[in-house]
Chain A
């Protein structure tokens, strides 16, 4: 009789414990899901930024831009044939 009550109490405690455990893990998973969502959004934002930077670099490093700046602003010219000396290999 006594042992039966003891088992019942133990099972009850275990039951309540596992219920609390479920509540806790559920809460944890929500928190983690929120965090994951935020991180994913952050990743998306960073990737978007990366793609924008790549495009910007593409525009800025465009050969026609560079040529315009080199020839126009910086007054650079291609050296004349006679000005080139070749180091004997």
Chain B
């Protein structure tokens, strides 16, 4: 007979034991069930990202300028691959890499689960690697961006980095629009990492939107080819050409030298700047039409008012302003034709600083054009309260004021377009309503005066375009350096538009630091302007307004000579 106290003690122990078990069961089943189930699922459920394609960038005619195409990247699980080191050799052979180096790299990172081995493989190499079926070696689909037009469009479009994120140009400015958003899905994977079943779609991948630019690839190429040969011919440090559509403000071409290949950008950041937008120049004489517009606007003079420019220099606040020659008695039109600093100074000094400043800023100087292009520069137009007499004089012929080539294009487009200024646009369908910069009559009067520059008697005779009436202005300015203006370093420019009877295109040419014997805008920039405009008129089928060729009547063989 067992004493009852021992029996009870034993019973108590059993009860405690079962209590403990039940408590633990409740704890696992009820309290920690989420955590445990989550852990269990994590052993076989995986979230996989679904890559999204980046949108296509095309020119105004739909020609592709930037296209993404899938390529395979190879990544490894170092632990799994190193279990069978003999697999490394065939892999290295296919990758044309050193097997020992790969092994060393993987050994160093053996604690990790994910190491990129090579990104953006050739598709045929990727297929061969896939066929090897080496455990621990995986291929991941990624997108790589190609730029078929290469260096011709690189400054405007920019490029993306290895993770497909925009780094420069419009790729950067419109990154979120182009990128779309990658999706993800939940799948069941087996021990070897093969997908067994797709469980659910967590987030659908949204492909990036396409971007249609206002650029015309044909004009872009033409401008690039001509700019490159001009820069080479004159040994210039850099150069830019901008072509705008007068009516809409759309950028039809924008090219710079030096350039770079966006398919393999490298690290030479100097060539990557879109100088037409990011770099400012002192425009020099190209600015004179704006000063003359201000003079006309405030009734100081009209195009026929005589201006005495002899003896070819004038002294303002102890500083001598010179012309190239003594042009004697000119009229206001002649001041532009001959590009007389003395003449424009005399006229501009009759204006109040605030009046002149007001005209300049209405033409967009001193303020960024607002295209949203990364790194866009606003140029400098100091406040009129700080203008001294000498400064007002120099600003009238384009010194002491700076602007980007794009700002110049915008201002000249306003002159060509009856005084209506439109913000330059890179993207089709941009909202850039015209703003009145100046009275249409004054804009037309200035345009008419500018027609006298590309003539035999003007400074821009080399800018002429056969069969078209052209208006424009040459510019040659000394480059500013740390110790004042450099004596023998120049910026040559030409700004103009055509056909003058009904302007369609504005073209700005800026050649920075030509090192040859020729450095005048009329000798360096004007011929380039002529080449670009001649080609552009033909490509865009713009009807001539000044026939110098033989005219024939349709349907007859009769040839009529005309002047």
Contact = CB atoms under 8 A, between A and B. Distances in A.
Given A55-B69, A55-B148, A63-B152, 6 more contacts: A51-B69, A55-B64, A58-B64, A58-B65, A61-B63, A88-B553
A13 interface: no
> A interface, how many residues as a size bin?
20 to 34
B70 A48 contact: yes
Contact of A58 (B148, B218, B559): B148
A61 to B, nearest CB: 7
Contact of B53 (A47, A64, A86): A47
A75 interface: no
Given A51-B69, A55-B67, A63-B221, A86 B149 contact: no
Would you call the interface of chain A mostly helix, strand, loop, or mixed? Answer: helix
Given A61-B63, A86-B467, A54 B549 contact: no
A87 interface: yes
A62 B149 contact: yes
B552 A58 contact: no
A61 B467 CA distance: 29
Interface of B: 53, 56, 63-65, 67-70, 146, 148-150, 152, 198, 217-218, 221-222, 225, 466-467, 543-544, 547-554, 559-560
Interface of A: 33, 37, 44, 47-48, 51-52, 54-55, 57-59, 61-64, 81-82, 84-89
A51 B543 contact: no
Contacts, number: 72
Contacts of B547: 86
Closest 5 CB pairs of A and B: A58-B148, A63-B221, A51-B69, A54-B64, A55-B146
A54 B62 CA distance: 11
14 contacts: A37-B198, A58-B64, A58-B146, A58-B149, A61-B63, A63-B152, A64-B221, A82-B549, A85-B550, A86-B467, A87-B551, A87-B554, A88-B551, A88-B554
A59 B65 CA distance: 10
Contact of B64 (A48, A57, A82): A57
A48 B72 CA distance: 12
B253 to A, nearest CB: 12
A63 B226 CA distance: 13
B550 A54 contact: no
